[in-house]
Chain A
C-alpha cells in the first residue's frame, strides 16, 4: 500500500519514532518501564479502533515495539512483559535474533488462501460458458448463480477467461501474491507463515499486508545507542534517498539533517555503485565476452542474488561475486576512518541481512531504512527547513546515482564496456520482482541468455520500490533522474574514487 497513507503506516512510523525517542531520552534502567507505557500512548482509551479489542491492539503494538528494537516476538501463552530481554538489545552494535521478517501471528487475519470465486456480478446466464470450460466439472448453479465447488477446483482459471461478465475472479492473500518465491504458507490455525528456507527477505509481504501483520526487525535502538555513547558513526546513504524526505528536503539538506543526529558525515552509496559498475564491466569483458562464463548476473540486489545462487546452484558462478555498492562504500569510508562505525541508510529490508553475512566482511555496522530514519528525525524534532545547504553533493556519477531504478544497473555497466571495449556488443535482459527474476534465470538455464548481462531487482521499479521507502514510485523515479543529471561525470569509469577499486576486490 505504497503511496497511500493508512493506519498501518501510521502505527509503524509511530513505533519507530517512539523507539528512537526512548533510546535517546531514557537511562538504561528506565527502558523496561518506558517500553510498557508506549502501547498505552500510541493506542489510548478503552475502545478498539480496528480490531476486536483494545487489549489485542496494544498487545500487537507491543510486538511491533519488540521487533523495532530487534527483539523476537514474545510468548502469548505464558506471562511475559513486553520488555523481556531488553537488556540484551540496549547495546551499541547490531543485536540480531533470527528471523528478520516476522508474521505477528495474532495480528494476521487468516485471509483465505488462493481461491477462484464467483462474485455478485454473475447473472446466472443461459450460456454459462464457465460450466463448459471447467475441466473438473466443479461449477453448478446454486440459487440461480454459478457456484464453484472448492473441493474440485484446481484454479486453472479457464472459467475466469470464459465469463462474459468478469464475474469470476482469482483471489490470493496479499502477502502470498506479493511474494515472488512462494515462501508464504499457513500455520495450523490458517495464519500466514513464512517458510524461511524460501524467503529472501525482500520485505514485499510486509508492504502488502493490509493488517500490518508482517514486520521486520529494526536496528534504530542500537544505532541511537551508539550515537548516544559517542561512537564515531558515518552514514552511507543509498542512491534511492533523493526525494524520499519530501519536496523541501534537497539531497544536501537531507545530509545536513542526518549529521544533526550526531552522524559525522554522510557518503553516497552511489560511489560504491560507480566502482561496482566498473568491476562488473571488467568481469563481463573478461569472463563473458571471453567465453568462460555463460552470462553475468548483477550483484547489487541481495534478495535477487541470494535467490539466484540458492535456487539455481548450477548458475551460481555466473552471478557476480563483486562487492555490493553498500559494502564498497563502507570500505571506502573505513579506509579513512578505520575506527568508525558505518550505518547504511537505504530503502531495503534485505540489506539488513547482507550486512550481517559472514561470507563477506561487510564493514557495515548498522542498516536502517528511510522510514526508520524518518522516525529518528521525528524523535529528535529535526525540521528540514532549519537547514541551509551550502554547495552541492558531488561524490558520485550519473551512473552510480541511476542504480535504484530498475534497468539502470545493467545500462551503467554496459556504458562502461562501450567506452573501454566498443567492439563488444553487450546483450542485456533485466527483470523486476522475484517471480520475473526466476523466469529470466530459467531462460538462462535453458541456454537462452548466453552472452548476456542480466540485471535482477526484487522490488517493483527497483530499489525505489523497496520496503523501507516513503515516496510513491513515480515521484521517486523523477527525483532520482534529477539527481542523476546533477552529477558532473556520466560514467562509473569517471568516478573520482577509481583508485579505491582494489577495496572492492578484497572479498574476504
Chain B
C-alpha cells in the first residue's frame, strides 16, 4: 500500500504552538512500526502553509491524507494516523 502522506505546517504560529514537536512524535512512530502493526509507512513533509493555518487560533495545522486537522495536537494527530495505517477510516 502507498505510504500515508502527512504534511505539517511550519509557519511561525504553528511552530510556536508545537508543530516541530508534533513532527517529532509522528516520525517516532516509524521507529515502532513493528509494535504498532502498521499496514503502511508514513511519509512526513514540512510545508510552509496549509488550509486554515493563516488563522493563529487554528494552528497548528496538519494534513493527513486528504484530511486537514486544525488545532492539531500530538494526541489527535496520532490517533488519525493510526486509524489510517491500521485499516480504519482511511484504508
Contact = CB atoms under 8 A, between A and B. Distances in A.
- Of B10, B13, B49, B73, most buried by chain A (CB within 10 Å of CB) is B10
Given A5-B74, A385-B49, A374 B15 contact: yes
A475 B24 contact: yes
A385 B23 CA distance: 18
A368 B17 CA distance: 20
A271 interface: no
A384 B12 contact: yes
Nearest to B11: A383
A13 interface: yes
Interface of A: 3-5, 9-10, 13-14, 17, 245-249, 374-375, 377-378, 381-385, 470-472, 475
B10 A472 contact: no
A439 to B, nearest CB: 31
Contacts of B49: 385
Contacts of B69: none
B: interface residue count bin: 20 to 34
B10 A5 contact: no
Contacts, number: 61
B86 interface: no
B12 A382 contact: yes
Given A5-B73, A472-B20, 4 more contacts: A5-B17, A247-B23, A374-B12, A384-B48
Given A246-B46, A247-B46, A248-B48, A470 B20 contact: yes
13 contacts: A5-B17, A5-B18, A5-B22, A10-B18, A245-B15, A247-B10, A247-B23, A248-B46, A374-B12, A377-B12, A384-B48, A472-B21, A475-B24
Contact of B12 (A3, A10, A381, A471): A381
A253 to B, nearest CB: 11
Nearest to B14: A246
Contacts of B18: 5, 9-10
Contact of B48 (A377, A385, A470): A385
B84 interface: no
Contacts of B4: none
B74 A378 contact: no
A3 B74 CA distance: 11
Contacts of A9: 18, 21
Contact of A383 (B12, B20, B21, B25): B12
A43 B88 CA distance: 37
Nearest to A374: B16
A4 to B, nearest CB: 6
Given A385-B49, A475-B24, A246 B16 contact: no
The 8 A-B residue pairs with the shortest CB-CB distance in the complex, in nearest-first order: A5-B18, A385-B48, A5-B21, A247-B46, A246-B10, A378-B16, A248-B10, A472-B24
A246 B20 contact: yes
Contacts of A10: 17-18
Nearest to B49: A385
B6 interface: no
A136 B10 CA distance: 57
Contacts of A378: 12-13, 16
Contacts of B17: 5, 10, 13
Contacts of A381: 12
A505 B49 CA distance: 48
Nearest to A247: B46
Nearest to B20: A246
A17 to B, nearest CB: 7
Q: Which of A246, A377, A382, A384 has the most CB of B within 10 A?
A: A246
B15 to A, nearest CB: 5
B64 interface: no
Contacts of B21: 3-5, 9, 472
A168 to B, nearest CB: 28
B62 interface: no
B20 A471 contact: yes
Nearest to A245: B15
Nearest to B18: A5
A115 to B, nearest CB: 31
A408 to B, nearest CB: 23
A138 B61 CA distance: 54
Contact of A3 (B11, B24, B48): B24
A4 B18 CA distance: 8
Interface in B57-75: 73-74
